[in-house]
Amino acid sequence: MIDLHSHSIFSDGALIPSELARRAEHKGLTAIGITDHGDFSNIDFIIPRVLGVAETLNRVMQIHVIPGIEITHVPPDLYAEIVTKSRELGAKIVIAHGETIAEPVAPGTNYAAIKAGVDVLAHPGLISEECMMAAREQGILIEISARKGHCLTNGHVAGMAKDLGAGMVINTDAHAPGDLIDSNMARRVVHGAGLGEEDFVEMQKNAARFLPTDYFGRQV
């Protein structure tokens, strides 16, 4: 089970990255993305530190830590700029905090994030068909969320992604130890969104693209 989206104390999560990684490993996860909330004030602080701890932990742990960032409440007009900066700083995954109905995310954020070429559009709320098609065209993954509030539109998001052929992933957006889930619970969330077992398998394959590959391009 791969979970690409979680938070540590580098934003509003409860755990330092090492404990988050260990607790995820104990849950049976094979990889976890640590993707704290970032804007122009803090990405230069967060990304190098999470990158550093991920490189160190990945030398010895079973679980693979994917160091990333979740661009959060950055105005749509500034999205391209912050995504470029995040990649320059070394983020291995760039997630956009999409237009969840649980928060007043600026309208236009979903579209700006897709145009800016993020890797994953998290909790995109009542995403439009135009955005979903643009995401599919650019190979941007659409998140089904296990998080309270954000999960309220999973049915809409899953149905439209499936109809229009966009790739999906299942993430926890964990902020505390109790938010982490195992693969059985992840399956239940996916099924609860109206999807099937084959979709869960596909979502895990999609998530695996953020794992390192060997000389031959095989996942290691």
Could you tell me the strand order of the sheet in which 2-3 lies? 2-3, 31-38, 64-71, 93-97, 120-122, 141-145, 168-171
Residues forming beta bridges with residue 142, ordered by sequence position: 121, 168
For Zn ion, the closer of residues 12 and 197 by Cβ is: 12
Taking the complex as a whole, how short is the minimal distance between the CB of residue 14 and Zn ion, in angstroms?
11
Nearest to 129 by CA among 137, 204, 102, 190: 137
Scanning 19-27, 46-54, 136-144, 168-176 for contacts with Zn ion by CB under 5 A, the matching segment is: 168-176
Task: Output the DSSP codes for 137-170.
Answer: HHTPEEEEE-STTGGGGHHHHHHHHHHHT--EEE
Query: Does the footprint of Zn ion cover residue 173 (CB under 5 A)?
Result: yes
- Between 25 and 70, whose beta carbon lies closer to Zn ion? 70
Give 195's DSSP letter: -
Judged by beta carbon, residue 27 or residue 123, the one nearer Zn ion is 123
In sequence order, the β-bridge partners of residue 33 are 66
Q: Decide whether 103 or 133 has the Cβ nearer to Zn ion.
A: 103
Residue with Cβ nearer Zn ion (118 or 218): 118
Nearest distance, CB of residue 72 and Zn ion, angstroms: 7
Q: Could you tell me the smallest distance in angstroms from the CB atom of residue 156 to Zn ion?
A: 19
Tokens 């897709």 label which residue?
114
Should residue 12 be labelled a site residue for Zn ion when binding is judged by CB under 5 A?
yes
Closest distance to Zn ion from the beta carbon of 5 (Å): 5
Site for Zn ion in 26-85 (CB under 5 A): 70
- Euclidean distance between CA atoms 88 and 84, whole angstroms: 6
Site for Zn ion in 99-138 (CB under 5 A): none
**Under the criterion CB under 5 A, does residue 148 sit at the interface with Zn ion?**
no
Per DSSP, 219 falls in state B
Q: Minimum Å distance from CB 174 to Zn ion?
A: 8
Total of residues contacting Zn ion (CB under 5 A): 3
Is 183 within 8 Å of 28 (Cβ atoms)? yes
Residue type, 11: S
Which range in 101-109, 125-133, 169-177, 198-206 contacts Zn ion by CB under 5 A?
169-177
Backbone angles phi, psi at 199, to 5 degrees: -70, -40
* Contact footprint for Zn ion (CB under 5 A): 12, 70, 173
